[in-house]
Structure 1
Amino acid sequence: MSTSEEWTFPDDVDHEVVQDALVEWYEADHRDFPWRRTDDPYEILVSEVMSQQTQLGRVVEAWEAFLDRWPTTTALADADRADVVGFWTSYSLGYNNRAKYLHEAARQVEEEYGGSFPETPDELRELMGVGPYTANAVASFAFNDGDAVVDTNVKRVLYRAFDVPDDDATFERVAGDLMPSGESRVWNNAIMELGGVACEKTPSCDAAGCPWREWCHAYETGDFTAPDVPTQPSFEGSRRQFRGRVISVLKEYDELGLDTLGPRVRVDYSPDGEHGREWLRGLLSDLSDDGLVELDESGDELAARLRR
């Protein structure tokens, strides 16, 4: 892992290509949380406060019930605080102070902002209980006017994918550089989705169709440690490990035939053995299906090269 002082974005990574790959992946299929279908800042603020240290699947029912009961800041501001806290407790949403702060924030919107939500992260931070992360999330998802979100999931993604060092200032800088200008709503949703379904503590790179596998340092090396994953998952001898070796070897050569590539991938490669041509063909076929490798069967021997 490089240090923060040394770290620069890899020269062979095109920001626009990386951005497009992630956004296309997200827009093609993502978890359909109801707050992703709204740009109402009040509804989004409720979802953000409820989601703090609470699994998103549990939040959906509580969020819908809360908005049924108090659909606007006006309704929440007029509510009895004890009722709001009681609701919070009944859904096991964590610290009751969050319910109190949310109630007070609704009153602020009504009394100090005339019922209209502030729109920028700095303004949103004036609301009771709204810190930098929540303010930026509401600005991003309600007004498409936020900065790059940097939460635990995003740090894990950047650390693994681009070998970004475990340094908060560097994470902030890289996340900001990578986010397309004026696209905070879709981008922040997309990169958090990537961390939530593909690049979890135990990754699901292939199963989730991670769009960054082509550039991912962890996918190439098989080392899926991260700031919140201090121990390396066992991958010695795994298919994932040998996929990474294939990619690493092909980066050094324009094209290699099976029997030239094989010994470079594993020392016990034997053309007709258990880990021979058929085994390697299967590995290359998977990589080809994932769009990472091109196969050429026009010659006497199957040849492989990285997809450009």
Structure 2
Amino acid sequence: MTGDAEETDGTWDLHADLESVRRALIEWYEDDHREFPWRRTDDPYAILVSEVMSQQTQLGRVVEAWEEFLERWPTTAELAAADRADVVGFWTGHSLGYNNRAKYLHEAATQIETEYDGEFPETPGELEELMGVGPYTANAVASFAFNQGDAVVDTNVKRVCYRAFGVPDDDSAFESAANELLPAGHSRVWNNAIMELGGVACGQTPRCDEAGCPWREWCQAYASGDFTAPDVPTQPSFEGSRRQFRGRVIATLREYDELEVDTLGHRIRVDYAPDGEDGREWLEGLLADLEDDGLVAFDSDDDGEPVVRLKR
């Protein structure tokens, strides 16, 4: 059928009228789509912040944090000059996921100011040189800020390609198919459109007719009624995780100048006991990770007791 995909010498043949497929999706997106403030800008810094924030947070919750972040640090120069602990504290206070992302964003801003004279790199390869920017984020920024990215392949895009064109559940196959679909010179609108399709019409529970999916004509899943989707790794539970306690450590140390290690332990968990299973040894391991990330530092008080503080 017209929606079947085949692999021929490493290239995916979608067996569809690609021009019609592309035109249908772009027209659908431009006719009506969700409004997010970062879709109304081509400022690469603002787009980078939105991409990093969106990695573990629902888009609806990102809007307020994104606006507040840019109000506080509106340029890479101001972010680079900021106290890293303040940036990490903002991240923790808005429940934006791993604190490392705040640290890397701060370091990327510093790179742009010191290594690129305040000018953002524009291609995916150049953007990957920034701290914490991987292939996905580099493509997103290159696409949405400079309209010169490759195909962005996230969970939504994989699900769409798998259902519509029968692309196997394989990362290289998804990347190949997504890049074949991408119309040259239109990465900004295309990547926004195909992610919107996966987020609005082709979610875990599809809304093909309700959302007016523009690909129903070519879609295998729509024709067969089989809407299975690629396996997606389950996000580990946040409650009780090391990630949660890392956040509590940062938040607590922002409130106090410094704390003895055991005092800190009692403040971040009610069941803390120095000699217990989740006691001093567990906490020191957690703090060692934060020290390696450049977020905390150890010291001693006047009595020689170990204390920990945020690294400024």
Quick check: TM above 0.5? yes
1:25 & 1:45 partners in 2: Cα distance?
26
The amino acid across from 2:35 in the alignment is: D
Q: 1:9 aligns with which of 9, 13, 16?
A: 13
1:119 aligns with 2:119: no
In the alignment, what sits opposite 2:30? 27
Listed as ranges, the matches of 1:255-266 within 5 Å are none
Aligned-pair RMSD on alpha carbons? 1.7
In the alignment, what sits opposite 2:49? 46
Listed as ranges, the matches of 1:1-308 within 5 Å are 4=7, 8-11=12-15, 13-228=16-231
Deviations 1:10-44 (A, max 9, x none): 53x21000000000000000000000000000000
Q: CA deviation at 1:219?
A: 0.3
Q: CA deviation at 1:110?
A: 0.4
CA contact (8 A) 1:201 1:229 kept: no
Match of 2:193, SS?
Answer: helix
In the alignment, what sits opposite 2:285? none
Q: CA deviation at 1:167?
A: 1.7
2:190 & 2:144 partners in 1: Cα distance?
10
2:14 & 2:144 partners in 1: Cα distance?
29
1:164 & 1:55 partners in 2: Cα distance?
27
In the alignment, what sits opposite 1:254? none
Q: CA deviation at 1:205?
A: 0.5
CA contact (8 A) 2:140 2:152 kept: yes
Deviations 1:166-210 (A, max 9, x none): 121121111111111000000000000000000001101011100
CA contact (8 A) 1:9 1:162 kept: no
Q: CA deviation at 1:218?
A: 0.1
1:181 & 1:21 partners in 2: Cα distance?
16
Q: Which structure carries more relative contact order (alpha carbon 8 Å, separation 6+)?
A: 2
2:8 & 2:29 partners in 1: Cα distance?
32
In the alignment, what sits opposite 1:274? none
Q: CA deviation at 1:112?
A: 0.4
Point out 4+ residue stretches in structure 1 off by more than 2 angstroms: 1-11
CA contact (8 A) 2:155 2:232 kept: no
Percent sequence identity over aligned pairs: 77
What TM-score do you get using the length of structure 1 for normalisation?
A: 0.72
Quickly say closer, same or farther: Cα 1:65–1:229, change in 2 above 3 A: closer
Match of 1:149, SS?
Answer: coil
Q: CA deviation at 1:228?
A: 3.1
Match of 1:126, SS?
Answer: coil
Moved more, 166-175 or 83-92: 166-175
Q: CA deviation at 1:60?
A: 0.4
Q: CA deviation at 1:5?
A: 6.2
CA contact (8 A) 2:6 2:13 kept: no
